[in-house]
Amino acid sequence: MTQQTPSEPLLQVAPSPHLHASHLSTQRVMLDVLIALIPVCAVSCWVFRWYALKQLVLCELTALLTETLCAALRRRKSPVWDLSASVTAVLLALSLPWNAPAYIAIIATVVAIGLGKAAFGGLGFNLFNPAMVGRAFVMLSFAREMGASGYVAQVPGLDVISQATPLTAAKQYVAALASGATVADSVQTAFQNIPPLSDLFLGIANGSLGETSVGAICLGGLYLCIRKTIAREIPVCMLLTAAAMLGLMQLLGFTDDGFGALHHLGSGALFLGAFFIATDPVTSPLTRRGRCIFAAGLGALICLFRALSSYPEGVMFAVLFMNAMVPLINRYTIRKPIGGPVPGSAASPKA
Amino acid sequence: MQEPTAGERFLNGLLPENPTYRQMLGLCATLAVTNGVKPAFTMACSTGFVLICANAMISLMRKHLQPHLRILIFTLTIATFVTVVDRLLQAFFYPMSQQLGPYVPLIIVNCIIISRCEVCASKQSLPIAIADAVGQTLGFLIGLVSLASLRELLGNGTWCEFEILPQSWPRWRILMLPPGAFITFGLTLGFIEWFVHRKQRA
């Protein structure tokens, strides 16, 4: 038997119809995602100035280097031209705080590409979303730089970053109210200074680099939906579940009325996660029903994490958790062939 | 195939059949206690004591073992020595005993010990059984301390609670946490596999 490298299959398999399947190459899909990310990056660079640019460039360079190095270790040609490493790098950079030191961006990217993807055998074999693996690694390692205080600083000319992120401010305020003690002045001020919904839509708010502007994210997301690059049911299911949960939580009094369901929807990485992170084709289920379950689980988990965990935001952990569920979901949502399973076969319910 | 001599059994335990990296036994304890060099060292010594004593004891009574009762006898013998170690640690190293928690009593179910009893001690004479146990003990010590050194140095900047890296060096806290155990072990294992394969090919 001849030795075959797994990365170069004999048969190129693409879904039918095959006449115009050229747009379904990995490279084209990844290019679409990169194009869709342009508005998000632009807003990010407008709001956070060169801090955003710095993180983007750092992550991108590190990703390309790591990808090439990992391929060289396995004596393969560098797969940087499939652009998947670039997408991972941009998503990772957009999920970092603007103030994260350079070593955090570099470590996160090396872990994302090296541990999150290459260690599993490269693109298509990874269980978990690489960008989120990288972020989780630095989040757990460098809690101070990545936590709430990592977002706040006084820089002249950049007013946005002098306030806590909306979710952190809300979390601290609700926690202070719940504990029964008097609310500290700083917490009170931060809560009152939470930007209005219009600012959250435009992106004039503190937060991770790419998560602030709902408008820009929706613009990119719509492009992806129209191009059919991503499975539309994922953002739809995820946002609907999250909206329902958040509405319920507001009714039940888990959130403060000053920071209700709409504010919760507009802040944090919910939209970025829904359009760009959860839709990673490798780490989401194969069937439509499976993707709906996956997305609904994500939306529900994010709300639970926001309300009940000690972290203000839960997109990262929710994505990693649901990624782990994907093989199970795939197993339970196998489509039955038309006409039902063949009688007497192993797939038939009554053997 | 010729039976290995006592010396060969001893050397086998160190690297070629290293319990952690080659046999991959006793991983529960390995992953749990390697967040510091001190607990790792204590764990390896405790396990080593039980392993050597149990191997010696089993080897002495190997003529009287009934095949269908042997596992029971192994477990009873091991449990006896584990109780001794547990009490010793509680008496003289109370903080360490608290830190290791349930993992000292869990030495009873450590697969390294029962596998050595089954593979070697129940069939070989006393000197061979002891040489085998000492080799495996040192192999386990190498495995645990190497993992713990990596995790403690990168995760906390210290080695054996002795400050090595400057304060300005960022601490990779995740390596001190449970996920760090899996990440470090996986990467080290991968590196060693790669090294062994390269040597075999050459």
pLDDT single digits (tens) B27-45? 998 999 999 999 999 999 9
Q: Apex CA A311: angle with CA B148 and CA B175, to 5°?
A: 10
Return the residue of A nearest to B172 by Cα: A141
The pLDDT assigned to A351 comes to: 39
Whether the link from the prior residue into A17 is cis, omega within 30° of 0, is yes
Contacts of A103 in chain B (CB under 8 A): 170
CB contact under 8 A, A137 and B186: no
**Sites in chain A below the pLDDT cut of 70:** 1-24, 341-351
Q: Which of A103, A107, A140 is nearest residue B177 as measured by Cβ atoms?
A: A140
Please name the helix (run of DSSP H) or strand (run of DSSP E) that holds residue B27, with its range, or none. Answer: helix B27-33
User: In this complex, is the C-beta atom of A141 within 8 Å of any C-beta atom belonging to chain B?
Assistant: yes
Closest CA to A210 of A20, A41, A11, A16: A41
- Alpha carbons B99 and B160: distance in angstroms, whole number: 15
For chain A, the straight-line distance linking the first and the last C-alpha, in angstroms and rounded, comes to 36
Contacts of A119 in chain B (CB under 8 A): 186-187, 190
CB contact under 8 A, B186 and A141: no
Between chain A and chain B, how many beta carbons pairs sit less than 8 Å apart? Answer: 24
User: In this complex, is the C-beta atom of A115 within 8 Å of any C-beta atom belonging to chain B?
Assistant: yes
- Residue pLDDT, tens place only, B11-31: 888 888 899 999 999 899 899
The pLDDT assigned to B138 comes to: 96
Q: Number of C-alpha atoms within 13 angstroms, CB side, residue A267?
A: 27
Q: Is A346 exposed, middle or buried (0-12, 13-18, 19+ CB in 10 A)?
A: exposed
User: In a mutagenesis test of the B interface, which of A141, A144, A316, A321 is the best target, namely the one with the most B β-carbons within 10 Å?
Assistant: A141
Q: Determine phi and psi for B200, rounding to 5 degrees.
A: -70, -35
User: In this complex, is the C-beta atom of B95 within 8 Å of any C-beta atom belonging to chain A?
Assistant: no
User: In this complex, is the C-beta atom of B196 within 8 Å of any C-beta atom belonging to chain A?
Assistant: no
The SS3 call for residue B65 is: coil
Per residue in A90-105, is it b (16+ CB within 10 Å) or e — as a string? bbbbbbbbbbbeeebb
Q: How many angstroms from the chain centroid is the CA of residue A307?
A: 19
Please name the helix (run of DSSP H) or strand (run of DSSP E) that holds residue B162, with its range, or none. Answer: strand B162-163
Closest CA to A41 of A273, A236, A319, A272: A272
CB contact under 8 A, A141 and B174: yes
Closest CA to B25 of B88, B97, B117, B91: B117
pLDDT band at residue B100 under the 50/70/90 scheme: very high
- Alpha carbons B147 and B10: distance in angstroms, whole number: 22
Place of tokens 């990485």: A269
Residue type, A318: A
User: In this complex, is the C-beta atom of B174 within 8 Å of any C-beta atom belonging to chain A?
Assistant: yes
The pLDDT assigned to A350 comes to: 47
CB contact under 8 A, B173 and A140: yes
CB contact under 8 A, B173 and A107: no
Return the residue of B nearest to A101 by Cα: B170
* pLDDT, chain B, mean: 92
- Alpha carbons B40 and B25: distance in angstroms, whole number: 15
Between A186 and B85, the higher pLDDT residue: B85
Assess whether pLDDT exceeds 80 at residue B85: yes
- Residue pLDDT, tens place only, B118-168: 999 999 999 999 999 999 999 999 999 999 999 999 999 899 888 888 888
Distance from the B34 Cα atom to the nearest Cα atom in chain A, whole angstroms: 17
Instruction: Give how far Cα A287 sits from Cα of A24, A231, A333, A334, B21, Å.
Output: 18, 10, 7, 7, 40
- A70 token code pair: 């990992």
Contacts of A143 in chain B (CB under 8 A): 173
Strand partners for B162? B159
Residues 6+ apart with CB under 8 A from A265: A239, A242, A243, A246, A271
The pLDDT assigned to B4 comes to: 84
CB contact under 8 A, B173 and A143: yes
Distance from the A121 Cα atom to the nearest Cα atom in chain B, whole angstroms: 13
Distance from the A209 Cα atom to the nearest Cα atom in chain B, whole angstroms: 22
- A109 token code pair: 């990217």
- A207 token code pair: 């937060």
Query: Where do the H-state alpha helices sit in chain A?
Result: 26-48, 50-73, 84-94, 102-110, 130-141, 143-146, 166-179, 185-192, 197-202, 214-226, 233-252, 261-266, 270-272, 288-308, 315-332
Residues 6+ apart with CB under 8 A from A13: none
- Alpha carbons A78 and A25: distance in angstroms, whole number: 17
Structure letter (DSSP) for residue B105 = G
Crossing angle for the helix pair B126-156 and B6-14, to the nearest 10 degrees: 10
